[in-house]
C-alpha cells in the first residue's frame, strides 16, 4: 500500500502570506463596521424646512416626487460618516440637469439623468485642473489634504444612485442604499 504525503494536500502558502492573513482579516472587520451617520447641528434660528425659491417651478429630476431641489445650495457635511473639516469648502448647487460647485480646490459640474421614479445616475463629471494644496486651519492644527477630500467626494458622488432631503440635510445614497454623502443646507449668500 502506498502512503499519501500530507505535504502535497496542503496549499502552498508563503511565509509572507501566512503573516499577512491576520492583518487582512482584521482590516476587513474594521472597514466592514458601519459608523453611525451624524446629522449637522442646525441653529435654532434656522428653519428646518427650506423656504421655496421664487421663480422656481416644477420638480427637479434629481429628486422627483419630493420638494424641488432646483437652485438649492449645499455644503459638504460628511462622506460615509467621515465628517468634513469645517475649513474645507466643498459645495454643491442643484441645476436642472447637473450639480455644480467647488470640490475643494477645483470647480466641478456633474451631469445626471433620472433613472426610474426616484433614482438618478451621474453621467459625467467635469472639473477644472488646478493643483490642490494642504491647508492648516489654525496654528498647531493638523493639515487637511484638500486634494484627497476632493477626489474622494467626486468618486463617491459619481456612484450615487438616489437622494433624500431630511430637514436641513441632503443625503445621497449609493447603489446599495447606504448613505454616502451628506450635505448641510447653505443659507444666505455665503
Measured CA to CA in angstroms, residue 125 lies from 61, 156, 158, 171 at distances of: 17, 11, 7, 19
Nearest to 157 by CA among 94, 71, 67: 94
Whether the CB-CB separation of 60 and 70 falls below 8 Å is answered with yes
Which cell goes with 171? Answer: 443625503
CB-based contacts of 81: which residues, under 8 Å, 6+ apart?
34, 35, 36, 37, 38, 179
- Provide the pLDDT for residue 1: 56
Whether the CB-CB separation of 158 and 120 falls below 8 Å is answered with no
What's the CA gap between 118 and 3, in Å, rounded? 65
The residues with which 83 forms a beta bridge, in sequence order, are 78
What's the CA gap between 103 and 147, in Å, rounded? 9
- Provide the pLDDT for residue 56: 38
Question: What is the architecture of the domain spanning 57-132+143-185?
Answer: Beta Barrel (2.40)
pTM value is 0.64
What's the CA gap between 54 and 108, in Å, rounded? 25
What's the CA gap between 172 and 153, in Å, rounded? 11
Nearest to 152 by CA among 81, 63, 100: 81
Domain ranges of the chain: 57-132+143-185
pLDDT in single tens digits along all 190 residues of the chain: 555 554 554 455 555 555 555 555 555 554 444 444 444 444 444 334 333 333 333 345 465 445 678 889 999 999 999 999 999 999 999 988 899 999 999 999 999 888 877 688 899 999 999 999 999 988 998 999 999 999 999 999 999 988 888 889 999 998 888 999 999 998 876 5
Amino acid at each position: 500500500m502506498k502512503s499519501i504525503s500530507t505535504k502535497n494536500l496542503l496549499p502552498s502558502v508563503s511565509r509572507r502570506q501566512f503573516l499577512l492573513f491576520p492583518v487582512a482579516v482584521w482590516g476587513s472587520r474594521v472597514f466592514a463596521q458601519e459608523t453611525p451617520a451624524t446629522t449637522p447641528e442646525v441653529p435654532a434660528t434656522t428653519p428646518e424646512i427650506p423656504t421655496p425659491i421664487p421663480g422656481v417651478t416644477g420638480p427637479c429630476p434629481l429628486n422627483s416626487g419630493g420638494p424641488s431641489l432646483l437652485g438649492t445650495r449645499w455644503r459638504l457635511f460628511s462622506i460615509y460618516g467621515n465628517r468634513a473639516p469645517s475649513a474645507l469648502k466643498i459645495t454643491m448647487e442643484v441645476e436642472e440637469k447637473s450639480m455644480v460647485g467647488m470640490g475643494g480646490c477645483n470647480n466641478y459640474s456633474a451631469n445626471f439623468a433620472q433613472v426610474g421614479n426616484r433614482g438618478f445616475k451621474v453621467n459625467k463629471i467635469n472639473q477644472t485642473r488646478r493643483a490642490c494644496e494642504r491647508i492648516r486651519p489654525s496654528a498647531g492644527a493638523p493639515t487637511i489634504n484638500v486634494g484627497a477630500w476632493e477626489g474622494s467626494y467626486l468618486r463617491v458622488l459619481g456612484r450615487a444612485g438616489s437622494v433624500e432631503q431630511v430637514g436641513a440635510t441632503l443625503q445621497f445614497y449609493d447603489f446599495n442604499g447606504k448613505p454616502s454623502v451628506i450635505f448641510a443646507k447653505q443659507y444666505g449668500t455665503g
